[in-house]
Amino acid sequence: MPNLAARLVISLLLLIGLSACQPSSKPEKPLNGPSQQTLEFDRLFTQFDDINKPGASVAVMQDGEIIFSKGYGSANLEYDIPVTPETMFHVASVSKQFTVFAILLLAEEGKLNFDDDIRQYIPEVPDFGHTITLRHLASHTSGMRDQWNLLRMAGWRLDDVITTEHVLKMVAKQKELNFKPGEEFLYSNTGFTLLAEVVARVSGKSFAQFTQERLFTPLNMSNSLFYDDHQKIVSNRAYSYERSGNGYKKSVLNFSNVGATSLFTTAEDLLKWSANFTEPTVGSPAVIEQMNTLASLNNGETFGGAYGQFISYYKGTKYIQHSGGDAGFRSYLARFPKQNLAIAILNNGADARPWELALQIADRLIKKNNPPPQNAIADAFLESISPKQISDSLELSEDILNAFVGHYWYEPETYSREIYLENGKLMYSRGQDDVSALAPISKNTFKMLNVEGEIYVKFTKNDEKSLMTVKVDNVDTYVSVAYTPVKITKTWLSQFAGSYFSPELSSTYHFSPENKQLKISHHRLSDHYIAPVKDDFFSSQIGDILFERDVHGKVNGFRISNGRVRNLYFRKL
């Protein structure tokens, strides 16, 4: 007969078994499927939801809670590794706001001042005759030439190993600025590489170490780091790709420089960062306010740029944002302060457009209590054109359209545009297959199609000169004058032949006439050919080239500009 202990065990087992067979007093709720909101977001990212394609990671925070976080597609096409919320992406220029924040933390501690001269900390920066402050660098108003453009012109590939030391040596050789500090806004990565170096020199720690200790750890951003060593192994990282025919190829990135770029992070970690702007754990409210304040030029005007980020409006709603793009990585972080909403989207395919997806998400979440600003297209420039006229564009005869065909020169920035006729439509060409169609909305005014923003083109005459006026978003106006391209002969081209050297790039270009074009040769770049646009002005893959002459009319050098670098000088050897 079993002893008492054994009988108790048997009784307990029987009770457990019986209770397991009894119906629950609380019926179990049926499992719910995805919410309607989740299904909507999934539809937005259908293009990435394929393990055979580069992917996306998206995270959305509203009222302090992450309401959506998901990965799509592949983080590594060679091993079919899927993107998850823990996948770390290189976020390129989204890095810049972290760099400014680090500077402001040091300023708050009295270790530097935002208006200090950069040469106080990095004396290798040349004396350009004007003071360049940390504030100038943090707002893209320094006039410093952009590091990536300079390196390309010097023959570097952007998949080369590029270190902070390389950038600093390039900066040390510069002899001119693009403009006087504070006079203009012109995006410059160089400024943020310099700011990160200031953080390192003032703190006595590497920028990666400083940001880890002062930003990422306190904010519990456990999947974030600044990547200052291209050989460093990063777990759960994504690799970048670009389209090649019907498939993809690797878009290699070997950056070993920080400040302007090189933050590895996740979409969820970026939301932890965003939350710090609402309820600061790191930095004081004064630091947050400075970050979110519009920078101004010497004349007091603002330009939409704050510090390491930009202030924008979408359908009347203010938001603070920055995008990023290096190799095949694309990233976007947007904060909508009044709505307490933040959206982070990270991609590893070069054709992704995360900023568009972020605004589509915002459309679904922002309360429609802010009416969009009125479309102010009815001004003298557009001759009071109605929306109906824009949507129902006119049909103009080829005889009328041919009157506008030709080449147009914009003198302030020395560039050319060509207008030509194709299949009964006017085409606006920027060169190198960058073409937009023009839809007529009056006999001499056209709307540019398939471009971001509202761009209108109007053709007029002034003192027998044919003019082309381009108006962008009813704000910026550019007036170009028609001209006749130069007649090219081998003899005319031969005057430009020779070798030209830039001490600022430590680089030499060779020009030789060939088949009514100039061939450009460089020891690291592929040969390519250029033709004159107007007089001594040529457009090339490396930038716009304007040859200079001595008092006798002989070519003795040239200056080259390519957007973020202006008037860099090469002398003829």
Contact at 8 Å (CB) between 280 and 101? no
3-class secondary-structure state, position 407: strand
CATH fourth-level superfamily of 89-365: DD-peptidase/beta-lactamase superfamily (3.40.710.10)
**How far apart, in whole angstroms, are the C-alpha atoms of residue 118 and residue 112?**
11
What local confidence, expressed as pLDDT, does residue 33 receive? 63
State the SS3 of 23-54.
CCCCCCCCCCCCCHHHHHHHHHCHHHCCCCCE
pLDDT tens-digit readout, 130-189: 999 999 999 999 999 999 999 999 999 999 999 999 999 999 999 999 999 999 999 999
Nearby residues of 307 by Cβ (< 8 Å), 6 or more positions away? 97, 100, 104, 135, 138, 139, 290, 291, 293, 295
Pairing relation of β-strands 455-462 and 225-226?
unpaired
Q: Is residue 380 over pLDDT 50?
A: no
Reduced 3-state DSSP string for 205-270 = CCHHHHHHHHHHCCCCCCCCEECCCCCCCCCCECCCEEEECCEEEECCCCEECCCCCCEEECHHHH
Q: What is the mean pLDDT of residues 404-414?
A: 87
Q: 């708050």: which residue's tokens?
A: 108
Reference 47, options 58, 36, 59; nearest CA is 58
Residue 539, sorted as left (phi over 0), alpha (psi -120 to 50) or beta, turns out to be beta
Residue 19: pLDDT band (50, 70, 90) is very low
Q: How many CB atoms lie within 10 A of CB 317?
A: 20
Of residues 412 and 235, more confidence is placed in 235
Distance, CA of 112 to CA of 106 (rounded, Å): 6
Domain ranges of the chain: 89-365, 380-483, 490-572
pLDDT tens digits, residue range 54-78? 999 999 999 999 999 999 999 999 9
Terminal CA-CA length for the chain: 113
SS (H, E, C) 52-107: CCECEEEEEEECCEEEEEEEECEEECCCCEECCCCCEEECHHHHHHHHHHHHHHHH
Mean pLDDT of 9-23: 39
Q: What is the rounded distance in angstroms from the CA atom of residue 449 to the CA atom of residue 440?
A: 10
Q: Do the Cβ atoms of 564 and 145 come closer than 8 Å?
A: yes
Phi, psi of 42 (to 5 degrees): -60, -40
**Among 480, 542, 472, CA closest to 507:** 542
User: Please, what CATH class does the domain formed by 490-572 belong to?
Assistant: mainly beta
Segment 9-32 shows an average pLDDT of 40
DSSP summary character for residue 567: -
Domain made up of 380-483: CATH architecture: Beta Barrel (2.40)
The pLDDT value given to residue 476: 83
Query: Do 490-572 and 380-483 fall under one CATH topology?
Result: yes
The answer to whether residue 10 scores a pLDDT higher than 70 is no
